[in-house]
Amino acid sequence: MDQEQVVMEIIVNAGEARSLCFEALQQARKGEFEIARENIKRSRECINKAHLTQTQLIELDQGEGKVPMTLVMVHAQDHLMTTIVVQELATEMLEVHLKLDSQQREHDALVSKLQTVDV
C-alpha cells in the first residue's frame, strides 16, 4: 500500500468512526440505547482499523524520517486523534443519557405510585 492509500485509509476509517459516534449521540438522546451502543462499538472497530494503519506507518518510518511528512498526512493524523476524543466523549455522554433515563423512570414510577395512594 502506498503512502496515499495509507493516508486515505486512516481518514476514511476515522471519518466513519466520527459519524457513528454522532449517530450514537442522536440515538441516545432519543432513548435508543442499544442502537447507540452498537454504533459506539462499530466506531471503536473503525478507530482500531485506522490506528492499525497508523501503527504500520510508524513502523515503516522507524523514527528515521523514512516516510515523508505531507499536509494530508498531518490531516489524517489530526483526524484520527480528534475522532478518538469524540469517541471517548460520546461513550461518556451515552452513560450520562442512560443514567438520566434511569432516574427519569424511577421518578415516573414514584409519581405514579404516589398518585394511587389515598390521602
Question: Domains in the chain, please, with CATH?
Answer: 3-116 (1.20.58.80)
- Phi, psi (degrees; rounded to nearest 5) at 61: -75, -35
Residue 104 vs residue 66, higher pLDDT:
104
Which residue among 51, 75, 79, 97 is the active-site one?
75
CA distance 14 to 89: 15
Q: What Rg value do the Cα atoms of the chain yield, rounded?
A: 21
Residue range 81-95: mean pLDDT, rounded: 98
Choose the weakest-confidence range: 23-32, 33-42, 50-59. Answer: 50-59
Provide the percentage of residues in the chain whose pLDDT is more than 90.
Answer: 73
Amino acid in the structure at residue 61: D
Q: Is the per-residue pLDDT at 119 higher than 70?
A: no
107 is catalytic: no
- Which cell is 53 given? 494503519
Q: Is the per-residue pLDDT at 66 higher than 80?
A: no
- Which cell is 112 given? 405514579
Of the chain, the end-to-end C-alpha distance in Å amounts to 76
pLDDT at 70: 86
Helices and strands of the chain, counted as H and E runs:
3, 0
